Chains A and B, each alone.
Chain A
Amino acid sequence: MANLTDRIKISDRLAGAAAWLVLQFFRLFEIPLSFIQRIVGVRGMPWIFLLPNLAFFGLFVVIPLCINLAFSFTGGTDLYLSDRVYTGTEQYGFLLDCETFGDPITCREDRFWKGLYNTATFTVFQVTFLVLFSMITALILNREIRGRGFFRAVFFFPVLLSPVVVALIWKWILLRDGILNAFLVSVGLDKILFFVSPEWSMFWAVFVSIWAHMGFYTLILLAGLQAIPPDLYEAAEMDGTSKERVFWRITLPLLWPNLLVVVVLALIKGVQIFDEVFVLTGGGPGTATQFIVQYIYNTGFTEPVRNFGLASAASIVLGLVLFVLTITQLAATRARDNG
């Protein structure tokens, strides 16, 4: 008994010493922080605490954005801004010079417009089916089914893979001598050259992208579904409400905030699509799956004449599209919150 008391005393003393050390450690900051507070005042202190994050954001987002903007008003192939020729809005004029905006071939920089239209097509299909499949999967995984944990892991697993790995796996499946064609031949069908057909290429670009990202969005929706109070469903059940009506009247409205986040995130990621499709189809056949980010990459980095000015102008246009999408999200969220 005496031993136990001694041990407790020792542990108390150790805990006290540790607490004292922690206190002393934080007191180290007290003097400089008090000094700063005297200078900037209490109202200025939040900015001091935000400073590390702001510095990081400025260094890696704001400064590159400004440099990019400056590049878009220059021409030539020099890498350093100081060596480049000022061209005003010439690069934007070149990008936006079209006889008919609906027909990329009539545009001076046809590949930019093809990239834009391809991106829009991809985004519409990818976001629609991504949200739909994520929703269905989340609804299924939210039910008491056998092996629920296993299936949640299975659906989330592709999210953990690198986009390049995802694309290579599917490329090997879809090539002329890939697994899928081997299967088609084994059941008496002809091989399909998927990457030669524009329609098939776009289909697989959308499919692979959904396969790779669905787990992440499913998780968000699943979290939303689990946050819906069960007593609402119990009350509906007692009232004899049909399952369809429960879904439309209870599940969907209460899931709306999560759904909105999923739609906007998927839209932004869709517009930014590059790596998976670049590895999977290389942008082909022709320019059928060449998206706007690949256009920027090619223009700035793979052409023999590296047109950094034009690539920068195109990326500013892309930035504006993303800005509009973000504003839309904010507006929709606020509208929802307000009423």
Chain B
Amino acid sequence: MTLNLKSLLTVTSVAAALMASSALAQTELRMMWYNDGSEGEVMQTILDRFEADNPDITVVLDVVPYKAVLESLPIQLAAGAGPDIARVTDLGGLSEYYLDLSPYVSDTEYWETSFGPFLNWLAPDSDRISGFMTQLTVTGPYVNKTLFEQAEVTMPGDGATWDDWATAVVVVADKLDIPIPMAWDRSGHRVAGPAIAMGAKMFDADGNPALVDGGLKKMAQRLYDWHQDGTMSKELWGSVSGSTYLGANEDFANAQVVFYMSGSWQIPQFANKIGDAFDWWAVPAPCGDAACTGMPGGAALVALQDTKHPEEVGKLMDFLAQEENLAEFYGKTLFIPGHLGLATGGVEFATDDPRAKHALETFSGAVPTISQTAFDLQGYKNNRVLFNALISRLNEAIVGELTLEQAYARMEEDVANQLAELNR
């Protein structure tokens, strides 16, 4: 009987140990991620450290195309079948699906002091803590400086206007037979900064969105004219429909573009792809009648409310948001820090490339010059409604399907219709 009892206890202990060990390995968190450069690899090394410290949690980094984050993730979230964590750029637009991490992080004050203004971008209507910025971005142009030197054309300096740049890049392209003098990412976000520079207000006196005004029309007219006179190629904006995003990064890297309006997130890619093949040079945002501003923005890592493991998600997010981990992440990825402590204290960027260093300094230095309107627009949770109406209708005017006046009227109708649908 004693023997039997001993055997029973032994079997029970072994079974309990097995069950406990299997329970330890049971929590799997899925993180949806997209890459601009090598940030996925950097994130994976940090995740490996987290998993070593927390053997009961496994984190699967699901790397997907950026388009999937824009188009598939919202549907997954609406269906309640999204990942536990995701890297997103529609910061406010998806905010209804974010998890409030406040009960799950160890020190909410740290989060508020480190990510203060950006937390509002993620939760425009509340004080929730939902995630942190994996990068702060600023839109602005890159110039192929080597082409300017070869063409013996002086590059416009600080304070140069959009018109100054347009004139200069056409001269360079003509002299060297470069097919595309100027290219902009096909994105409403990219147009918004220059439109604000021209005086666009984006909101009316009551704070309601008001896309079309004199400032926006000034910039839209220029974009239209530049596409007609060949300063910009219709290949990029004109070759697809709707609000489809297209970048000219490949053309710029292949020295087919003199001036490329994009943003700080291209730095790691250009450092890697172009290297020292030519001098790719970030320049301050060109000026309009009202300001010299780009648009702020960025990508954030957010926790999602449909997760079945909020505590583990909180633990992971808390770990990733620690200053030493973010310093490593920003430093290795060459991203502008979205952590206030690191932004003021400085990050040691892992590059010796003078072009990359100059670009990082240029874009970081541009942050104080960003217009308040641009910050307000970035903080507006339905800003993509405005961006998409702008880009799709302006494109229809550029290819000749609408006049500019018809396009403006359609932009306003699109915004009104979509917001009405949203508010039903």
Contacts and interface: CB of A to CB of B under 8 A. Distances in A.
Interface string B380-418: 001011001000000110111110001000100100001
A288 B399 contact: yes
Interface string A300-322: 01111111011000000000000
Interface string B133-144: 000000000000
Contacts of B400: 286
Task: Name the interface size band of chain B.
Answer: 35 or more
B244 A282 contact: yes
A286 B399 contact: yes
A228 interface: no
B399 A285 contact: yes
A301 B71 contact: yes
Interface stretch (A6-14, A71-79, A252-260): A71-79
Contacts of A108: 413
A85 interface: yes
A105 B393 CA distance: 12
A289 B238 CA distance: 12
Interface stretch (B2-10, B13-21, B73-81, B325-333): B73-81
A326 B118 CA distance: 56
Interface stretch (A29-37, A130-138, A192-200, A210-218): A192-200
Contacts of B384: 304
Given A286-B395, A286-B400, A306 B242 contact: no
B70 to A, nearest CB: 8
Task: Name the interface size band of chain A.
Answer: 35 or more
A32 B78 CA distance: 45
Nearest to A84: B424
A287 interface: yes
B292 to A, nearest CB: 28
Contact of B241 (A75, A76, A85, A283): A283
B102 interface: no
Interface string A178-200: 00000000000000010110100
A176 interface: yes
Contact of B399 (A198, A281, A306): A198
Contacts of A287: 241-242, 396, 401
A156 B60 CA distance: 42
B234 A77 contact: no
A126 interface: no
Contacts of A193: 233-235
Contact of A78 (B78, B399, B410): B78
B160 interface: no
A121 interface: no
Given A78-B78, A303-B388, A281 B242 contact: no
Contacts of B240: 281-285
Given A85-B424, A303-B243, A285 B79 contact: no
Interface in A108-130: 108, 110, 114
B93 interface: yes
Interface string A82-116: 00010100000000000000000100101000100
Contacts of B401: 114, 286-288
B242 A298 contact: yes
Nearest to B413: A108
Contact of A304 (B79, B233, B234, B418): B418
B289 to A, nearest CB: 29
A289 B242 CA distance: 11
A78 B74 CA distance: 11
A53 B368 CA distance: 66
B236 to A, nearest CB: 10
B239 A282 contact: yes
A209 interface: no
Interface string A228-258: 0000000000000000000000000000000
A306 B75 CA distance: 9
Contacts of B93: 304
A305 B78 CA distance: 12
Nearest 3 CB-CB pairs, A to B? A282-B240, A283-B241, A286-B399
30 contacts: A75-B421, A75-B424, A76-B422, A77-B78, A77-B421, A77-B422, A79-B78, A193-B234, A193-B235, A196-B235, A285-B234, A285-B240, A286-B238, A286-B400, A287-B241, A288-B401, A289-B241, A301-B71, A302-B70, A302-B242, A302-B243, A303-B418, A304-B90, A304-B93, A304-B382, A304-B384, A305-B418, A305-B421, A306-B74, A307-B418
Interface of A: 75-79, 85, 87, 105, 108, 110, 114, 176, 193, 195-196, 198, 281-290, 294, 298, 301-307, 309-310
